[in-house]
Amino acid sequence: MKKLFYLFTLVVLLLFSCTKKENTNTITVEELKPLLKESIQLVDVRTAQEYALGHIEDATLIDVKSDDFKKMVHHNLDKSKPVYVYCKLGGRGEKACDILQKDGYTVYNLKGGYTAWKIQNQE
């Protein structure tokens, strides 16, 4: 009977650990390019130093690791419009998207981040 209980507990734990949290919408470089011709909310969530080394034109810098990230978001972004987020590779963008989604924003994370952008936009 103990073995059955442990097996059941293990199966339940595995099922819950495999469920995915809120889905983050992703967008590719190809999908983002035409949107940049419009006035969109594009947010670079990297550090100021990374931003200074290069960024997508018209991106607003709001460092996701900054203590005042939420304050800056509420000051600079319109909740009624989608927000497009990027970082270096996508990890910090994912974190920023989670925070923004919980606050009611519609967000898209750039797949591959600024690195993908640079690779696909080299001339």
Whether 41 contacts 83, CB under 8 Å: yes
Verify whether residue 97 is a known catalytic residue: no
**What is the spatial distance between Cα 73 and Cα 63, in angstroms, rounded to a whole number?**
10
Catalytic-labelled residue, pool 59, 83, 87, 100: 87
SS percent in the chain: helix, strand, coil, step 5:
45, 15, 40
Q: Looking at the annotation, which residues are catalytic?
A: 87
